A and B are shown apart, each in its own frame.
Chain A
């Protein structure tokens, strides 16, 4: 039986085919999936913030919350499961509100997406497809068997990348 594994804000989970990985209501956050096509194993994180350096001292770091620690965790976990050549897909990083006067903090979506791209580069993982930016929330579902990422928005409907 295929299961749909749900990932909440700042969480990450791993599974194998025929299961699917799903995260709902991505706004400025980024959903990133690392997968091994041959082994049919994949892991998804719901990344909230670009960099774990922002965490206050002595605070326990939730690894799924930050782009850098999330990618490290996904790579380590997939390698432990025997994954070889990893590939990536990602979606999210939207700017949900448009303000007259914008400050740097409000560009958080863009910064999240950029941080994920950089972390992937650092691990030499090719980014196969992405759907980032814009002003829409997204719900995404990754089918581990086909490696297709379906993306649903309220205004546009569903598409696949």
Chain B
């Protein structure tokens, strides 16, 4: 799929985005946060549900649409328990996505907003191109159902997506987050050209 060189570039991009996201999240939560990138690859879309913990894994997700020079979407997935713990520490009381807790819900949206925005900015800075973003959407459901919706609405003709595996360490607790970057077909080609130009 990707050459080793391209994989390294994608991993570097993931590292920069994760650095931005960790700083933003740390400020929001007032807790130490580190995010490390364990792997970055281009995965066939049919494998993606397995990569994010299996199609039925219960996850909390944030989806950010990118526009401008580079179009596509950024999808961030967390195990539900970890997302709930993050929200709980933010609002100072327990939180469950199963209850209609407006304060908690909007806190989660804020977490999503900050994190996905950090990845989008890193991407724009790195490629030296302005990227416009909307307010992200959130969903809590089976991982497979979320991933396939995103894949089919962004790049129906594409058979692979860029995929970054991350480990979040928040207040010494470890959580496996997944960041998927799905550029539209034209944008993927543009990114590859610019990445190679950077190298």
Contacts and interface: CB of A to CB of B under 8 A. Distances in A.
Interface of A: 8-11, 24-29, 48-49, 54-56, 59, 94-101, 105-106, 108-109, 135-139, 154-155
B6 interface: no
B178 to A, nearest CB: 14
Nearest to B155: A105
Q: B-side binding surface: helix, strand, loop or mixed?
A: mixed
Which of B45, B63, B135, B156 has the most chain A CB atoms closer than 10 A to its own CB?
A: B156
Interface in B104-141: 134-135, 137-141
Nearest to A24: B55
Contact of A108 (B55, B135, B152, B157): B152
Contacts, number: 103
A140 B55 CA distance: 12
Contacts of A56: 157
Nearest to B148: A27
B156 A138 contact: no
A94 B148 CA distance: 11
Contacts of A95: 149
B66 interface: no
Closest 4 CB pairs of A and B: A25-B144, A137-B145, A25-B55, A27-B145
A96 B156 contact: no
Which of B58, B137, B153 has the most CB atoms of chain A within a 10 A radius of its CB? B153
B101 interface: no
Given A26-B144, A49-B156, A108 B56 contact: no
Contacts of B140: 154
A78 to B, nearest CB: 24
The SS class assigned to the A binding surface is loop
Contact of B46 (A9, A97, A137): A9
20 contacts: A8-B49, A9-B46, A24-B144, A25-B49, A25-B145, A27-B145, A28-B148, A28-B152, A29-B152, A59-B157, A94-B145, A96-B146, A97-B139, A101-B134, A137-B141, A137-B142, A139-B55, A139-B142, A154-B141, A155-B141
Interface string B147-169: 11110111011000000000000
A79 to B, nearest CB: 27
B157 A25 contact: no
Nearest to A29: B148
B143 interface: yes
Contact of A26 (B45, B145, B156): B145
Contacts of A100: 134-135
A76 to B, nearest CB: 23
A96 B144 contact: no
Given A94-B149, A139-B142, 11 more contacts: A8-B49, A9-B144, A27-B146, A48-B152, A96-B149, A96-B150, A97-B138, A137-B146, A138-B142, A139-B55, A155-B98
A59 B146 CA distance: 26
A26 B147 CA distance: 10
A96 B153 CA distance: 11
Contact of B63 (A8, A97, A108): A97
A27 B145 CA distance: 4
